[in-house]
Structure 1
């Protein structure tokens, strides 16, 4: 009897030991599965962060390249505008210089022609004075060829003055010597004259005067 009791106690002990071992094995399996799950979740989170960082870096570089391109385009546009303004300013300065030069030339031409006109007026006045002197009747003449020619018209007559050359005294004087403004020689004699035959002033220039024969 005691022998059976002892055998039954041993069996119970073995069964309890088996259940305890199984419980410990299940607990270890659950702990192992949980650690694997945590590790897997951590790996997935790391991969997700890597993908997010990669996309973020790509977006950053794309934005930087786009803004850099826009900035370079803006700088190039500003440079082109500045270059165009510089060229326009240079053209306007050149145009202003040309206008100023043209104005100076016009002023110089005006002054020159004013001086020429005044000289012509003075020459005309001197010629008129010479004509008045020659047209005045003289007491006597050495030759009848020097007398003024009387021209007959239908109703009256007038005297056309004759200005003899002061060198040959045969042809009509038709050249004015400058600067003295004397009506001195004919068209042929003024080439050989170096000075005015009236006052002796050195000849600087000669002006031909066309006197009408009518």
Structure 2
């Protein structure tokens, strides 16, 4: 029994753990009778020695099987690990491509909106500039018209002043004539006043009636109502008549 108890693997110096790859890869120790048996038991039968050798051989075969199984499992695990890495890389690549596509779509949408806003703002600016130019042109036109009307009013005022001065001169001449001819009748006095008026501001076309029509744009008071209808130009400066205005004597 003592001999059989000493034939277990731990007594034979064999290391056979099966839970680790590194331990299985270690080569089992050869059978050492001197190490396993004390000196008093060195003398053993030959069949026990043969059994020990068979057991060591079977242990070596078992270790080789375990090593092969461990290597196979390691290769399978390594292959599975590589497959998982490849799957993760592909999944990450797809997620990144999806994210890039979404970001590109959003960026294109924002760019289109900005371009539309810019086009609307540019169109609105052009419309405002055109409206501003139109208002400026109308303002300049009204300003020119106002200046022309102001100049016309000034010329008319000057013409009226000249007519008033002429009337005053005629009135003074009439008074002088009346003082010289107190014995004349009223008809003779009216004839003298009429002749005085004709001399003061006669029509430049017929020289027989008073001038009461103002020619435009030259602003000359140079025609009577009868002659104005037949005149196409001013009899004073020969400017083309564009319009005429009747002046009422005060």
Q: 1: CA distance between counterparts of 2:182 and 2:197?
A: 27
Q: 1:46 to 1:32 in 2, by over 3 A?
A: same
Q: 1:102 to 1:40 in 2, by over 3 A?
A: same
Q: 1:92 to 1:15 in 2, by over 3 A?
A: same
Q: Which has the higher strand share?
A: 1
Q: 2: CA distance between counterparts of 1:30 and 1:19?
A: 16
| 2:103 equivalent in structure 1 | 60
Q: Equivalent of 1:176, from 195, 198, 203?
A: 198
Where structure 1 has 5 or more consecutive residues not aligned to the other structure, the ranges are: 141-146, 151-158, 165-171, 192-203, 210-214
| 2:69 equivalent in structure 1 | 26
Structure index of larger Rg: 2
Q: Tell me the alpha carbon deviations over residues 88-110 of structure 1, each in whole angstroms, 9 at most, x when there is no partner.
A: 32122112212211220121111
Provide the alpha-carbon RMSD of the alignment.
3.8
Q: Tell me the alpha carbon deviations over residues 19-51 of structure 1, each in whole angstroms, 9 at most, x when there is no partner.
A: 223212211111111101110111011101111
Q: 1: CA distance between counterparts of 2:127 and 2:179?
A: 77
| 1:197 equivalent in structure 2 | none
Matches within 5 A, 1:1-214: 8=51, 11-136=54-179, 138=181, 148=185, 161-163=190-192, 173=195, 176-177=198-199, 181=200, 190=207
Where structure 2 has 5 or more consecutive residues not aligned to the other structure, the ranges are: 1-44, 209-219, 226-250
* Per-residue deviation, 1:61: 1.4
Q: Tell me the alpha carbon deviations over residues 139-187 of structure 1, each in whole angstroms, 9 at most, x when there is no partner.
A: 99xxxxxx6466xxxxxxxx753239xxxxxxx748624xxx277x9x9
TM-score by length of 1: 0.62
TM-score by length of 2: 0.54
Q: 1: CA distance between counterparts of 2:221 and 2:138?
A: 40
